Amino acid sequence: MSTFEILRTLCELPGPGGDERRVQEFLRERWSARGFEVSIDGVGNLAAHVGGQGPKLALCAHADEVCLAVRHIDDDGYLWLSSGQRDIEARPSLRSPYFLPLGHPALVITDGEPVPGVFATLTGHILTKAQRDKKELDWNDIWVDVGAPSLGAAEERGIRVGDRVIWSPPTRRVGDLVYAKAMDDRAGLAVLDLFAQRADPRAFAYDVYLVSTVQEELGLIGAASVSRRLGCELAIAVDIGLSGDVPGVDQKDVATRVGAGPILVHKDLYAYDRALIRELERAAAAASIAVQHAVYVIYGSDAGEFVRAGVRAALIAIATRYTHSPFEAVHLGDIDAAGALVERFARGS
Residue 5 banded pLDDT, cuts 50, 70, 90: very high
Q: Report pLDDT digits (tens) over 151-186.
A: 999 999 999 999 999 999 999 999 999 999 999 999
Q: What percent of the chain has pLDDT over 90?
A: 72
Q: Is residue 246 part of a domain?
A: yes
CATH number at residue 111: 2.40.30.40
Residue 154 and residue 205 in one domain: no
Range of the domain at 41: 3-65+181-347
Instruction: Give the three-class secondary structure for 70.
Output: strand
| DSSP code of residue 124 | G
Q: Is residue 192 part of a domain?
A: yes
Supply the mean pLDDT for the chain.
Answer: 91
CA distance 24 to 213: 9
Mean pLDDT of 96-109: 78
Closest CA to 277 of 303, 251, 241: 303
Which string of DSSP letters, residue by residue, matches 77-113?
A: SPEEEEESSS-TTPPP-TTSTTTTTTTSEEEEE-SSS
Residue 259 and residue 145 in one domain: no
Residue 138 and residue 210 in one domain: no
Residue 60 and residue 75 in one domain: no
CATH number at residue 299: 3.40.630.10
Residue 190 and residue 309 in one domain: yes
The pLDDT, as a whole number, for residue 262 is 98
Residue 287 and residue 162 in one domain: no
Query: Residue 195 carries which side chain, given as an amino acid letter?
Result: F
| DSSP code of residue 201 | G
Q: What is the pTM of this model?
A: 0.92
Q: Report pLDDT digits (tens) over 10-24.
A: 999 999 998 999 999
CA distance 181 to 286: 34
CA distance 292 to 303: 18
Q: Report pLDDT digits (tens) over 242-290.
A: 999 999 888 888 889 999 999 999 998 889 999 999 999 999 999 999 9
240 with 65: CB under 8 angstroms? no
Mean pLDDT of 337-343: 98
CA distance 336 to 193: 11
Q: Which of 139, 167, 195 is the last residue of a domain?
A: 167
Q: Which of 167, 190, 209 is the last residue of a domain?
A: 167
Counted residue by residue, the chain has a size of 349
Residue 85 and residue 220 in one domain: no
More confident of the two residues 61 and 301? 61
Residue 9 and residue 93 in one domain: no
Q: Which of 140, 167, 194 is the last residue of a domain?
A: 167
Mean pLDDT of 182-199: 96
Residue 49 and residue 185 in one domain: yes
Number of structural domains in the chain: 2
- The dihedral through the CA atoms of 136, 93, 302, 44 has a sign that is positive
Return the number of other C-beta atoms located less than 10 Å from residue 187's C-beta: 29
Q: Report pLDDT digits (tens) over 73-94.
A: 999 999 999 887 765 455 555 4
| DSSP code of residue 271 | B
| DSSP code of residue 252 | T
